[in-house]
Amino acid sequence: MKKILVTMAFAVLPAFAFAAGGNVPLDHMKPDLEDKVSLQKGAATFMNYCMGCHSMKYARYERVATDLEIPLELFEENLIFSDAKIGELMNIAMQPSQAKNWFGNPPPDLTLEARLRGPDWLYSYMRGFYADPSRPYGVNNSVFKDVGMPHVLAGMQGVCAHKPDTGAEPQVDPLSGRIVKDSGCESYTTKGTMTKEEYDETIYDLVNFMVYMGEPSRMESETLGKWVLLFLVILFIPAYFLNKEYWKDVH
């Protein structure tokens, strides 16, 4: 029995390693599903830059708009770039056969990507592109080697000249207390429209939105959980005195 358990443990280890990004050091990010502004900005980034190729076919536009507190008309006018209706699933017009011809493989659906990869992996991946003339799109990725995806946010970030050092601890000047070197890109072959800090914030918002998309009910569950805990605290008071009253006659 012990041998079987050990064998099963080793069998599932590769799956966990894949989901976590293997042995590549990752930068940490902590999602905040209560930050509606961050989620709204992340949704805008995804709709504008990602949804041309990647679907989220297990979600509906209307549910996203409602959860993120975006008026339906505003969402439909500014974040739906096809003839899809607000109540439809978030599919894309690109056919798998077309995608295979253009990219080699159809781009994956991203509804559950945050649950598969984890927020740290996505955050590091989107900040891990760098110039590599040997690759078809001129870029490689420090987290996903030889990735077949172009750097669609290069206009914002620019193109890193060298492989970013993801997962590195920030180096702080002991005299001034300022960070002199951080993880991510340090020099660029092409400048983007954003500063490093602005781009990091944009990617945080994007990944935050993808975490929400992976489990939309989590927002409701966390809110409901707080009310349940409050109810239990209130219930404890009469229960305590009732229990005391019951045992008074016994003693």
Task: Check whether 54 is labelled as a binding-site residue.
Answer: yes
SS3 90: strand
Cα distance between residue 85 and residue 231, in whole Å: 40
Residues 6+ apart with CB under 8 A from 63: 216
Distance CA 22, CA 16 (A): 8
* 162 annotated ligand binder: no
CB 152 within 8 A of CB 133: no
Annotation-wise, does 251 bind a ligand? no
Look-up of token digits 């830059």: 49
CA nearest 120: which of 65, 71, 161, 167?
A: 167
Give the amino acid at 249. Answer: D
| Dist. CA 165–CA 143, nearest whole Å | 10
Cβ partners under 8 Å of residue 105, min gap 6: 99, 148
**Greatest alpha-carbon span in the chain:** 85
Residues at the binding site for heme c are 50, 53-54
Binding-site residue ranges:
50, 53-54
